[in-house]
Amino acid sequence: MNDSLREKFINEFNASAMITEKVNLITSDELVVLISADPQLILDQANMLLQEIEQKQFVFFDRNQEGNLYYTIGRAYNVMSNLEEALRSFTAAMYAFQSTKNVEMEAKCLSSIGGVYEKVGDYTTTYDYTYTALEKALKTGNRLLEARLMNDLGYTHVILGEYDKAMNYLIPCVQYLESSEDALLLSFAKDSLAHAYFGLGRIEEALENEKQAVELSRQDGNWYGVASFLGYIGTIYNARGEYEQALACVDDAQRIAEERGYEMEACNAHRYRAEIYTAMGKYNKAIEEYKLGVDIAKRIRTLRLLYEMYEAMAEVCKLNDDYKSALHYFEMYHAAKDAALKERETQERRYRQVIDQAKSARREADLLQIKNDQLENEINERKLLQQKLEQLAKTDPLTNLINRRAFFTQAALAYERARRYQEPFGIILFDLDHFKEVNDTYGHQIGDQVLAKLGQRLKELAGDDDLVCRFGGEEFILLIAGADINKAHDFAKQIKQMMTAPIETAEKPIQIHASYGVSAFDHTAVVSLDKLIERADDAMYYSKENGRNRITISSDRSGSGVLNFSRVGLQSIFTPAQSKKGRGKK
């Protein structure tokens, strides 16, 4: 914890005479780190402030202030594992933000409510709240908020064991956050990505990302994150059989958790250490660690973690041939799990009551405004959301080019327009030569950087009316508006020339080249769009089979790379004699 920041906060809070000044102080962005470093301090000051508000019968003229206060209180309760009070505060904040049409903060509250349900194992409700939050965030254009919610959704998929689905959210989330200045959010996204990699068996990538999460958290003063992430690094080292390093990480995690009152992370540290001792064959030590974790889990009433540890203790006793103790712990496991199910049912009822109470408290003040907002904004909101979702559906996330599906949709419109107005257009299809060697030599992460920067270069080279698409893998296709076969050929030569400049990557500059096929639409010899693409594809294969790193026009079989108009008419389009069957593009 930053002690100077803590002292500054206390002094300024006590010196503030007006409630609004205290609210602005306790909810300031500067104090975000204190919520994780010293949540009890935030709660103590906030409760004093709430008492003052009640005594003076203070009425918030700015409901955003009220929302910010309850949101801050909710975050502090969440760190302290007081989930019911966290839910109560987040819900109160959400309704305050709804009344002011503050969609960004409403989305944050929805996500935080989902996080509460995640902690009690209700992942379906977690997903519902988080997805609703993302829908709202998409309306705001706030990329940072979108990234945060994509991380939340990705981690929910991790919890559900759906690691491939998790990667669809987490990879673009991390890519964006690496270009931002939000170290706190990036640290949590790196942690989520590490869990996904670990689930996929990609241990080295999991370890690299988790170490980065720890370092980012240290730099940001997020000691809750440091404790949590160090514990998970211990799990990763354990999976690698590096037990001493695993224990050292878990020891650090537990020390931080105990010093700062993070009981959930202290409990996890005992569980992680028990798992390491089990892997080392030190079964008695493992049982002792589980017992310490059980004591904490009982104290903070984390029943899911409790019955999971009882089950693990039974398995350890079996490994140690202590079947009597194994039976005892299995009985404890079943009893704890039954209690957890009953507790969850009770908790769900309490949570529903909390939300219903918050709704009732706000209903009279907010109902008319909410109804008016819904009537006024419903159509516009749906259109905005649909446009955003459609944009996401038609864009390749790695290159930001249009994807294959969007290309065919837009190319069909361009084809009909060209046919109606008797205008030409060109098709350029190219595939990077030997790109597998780039991935094999430098790794897929470097390969992805090459593809992303190539996509950026292609967009800069193309005109506003042209279509640039990642067609699949390392294959790209362009539709060049208004280009006959000669102009399309010239444009392909520009791309080829552009590729002579190596692409900068985190590893080293990478030199790439490609094989090209070119065809063109001419109203005097009308053929279908699919046929034009097929001809460009045939020509590209001809380039592959005749030396690579060259351009072939769809009628060019001589190897000259130039269409001879005096000898070959456009109607005599090149069709290779050999079949495509079995031809490789690599």
Domain range list for the chain: 142-221, 404-553
Mean pLDDT of 322-351: 85
* Residue labelled with tokens 């709430």: 50
Q: Which of 474, 475, 507, 545 is catalytic?
A: 474
Identify whether the C-beta of residue 9 lies closer than 8 Å to the C-beta of residue 35: no
- Per-residue confidence (pLDDT) for residue 38, from 0 to 100: 75
Residue 479 pLDDT greater than 70, yes or no: yes
Looking at every residue in the chain, the average pLDDT score rounds to 84
Alpha-helical (H) ranges within 56-122 are 63-79, 83-99, 103-119
Average pLDDT over residues 119-129: 83
- Residue 474 known to be catalytic: yes
pLDDT at 152 over 70: yes
Q: Which of 142, 78, 80 is nearest to 106 (CA)?
A: 142
**Per-residue confidence (pLDDT) for residue 371, from 0 to 100:** 57
Rg value, the chain, Cα? 30
Express as a percent the part of the chain with pLDDT over 90.
53
Encode pLDDT of 77-86 as tens digits.
Answer: 888 878 888 8
Predicted local distance difference test score (pLDDT) of residue 1 = 44
Residue 311 confidence (pLDDT) above 70:
yes
- Look at 9-23, 213-227, 476-490, 540-554 and tell me which has the smallest mean pLDDT: 9-23
Confidence of residue 142 (pLDDT cuts 50, 70, 90): confident
Task: Identify the band that residue 576 occupies on the pLDDT scale cut at 50, 70 and 90.
Answer: very low
98, 107 contact by CB (below 8 A): no
C-alpha distances in angstroms, 227 versus 1, 98, 243, 264, 306? 13, 35, 18, 10, 20
Please give the CATH superfamily to which domain 142-221 belongs.
Answer: Tetratricopeptide repeat domain (1.25.40.10)
**What length is written for the chain?**
586
The pLDDT assigned to 30 comes to 61
Q: Which fold has domain 404-553?
A: Alpha-Beta Plaits (3.30.70)
| 556 Cβ contact list (under 8 Å, min separation 6) | 539, 542, 562, 563, 574
Higher local confidence (pLDDT), 509 or 366: 509
pLDDT in tens, 171-196: 999 999 998 888 889 999 999 999 99
Helices and strands: H and E segment counts in the chain: 23, 5
- pLDDT at residue 578 above 60? no
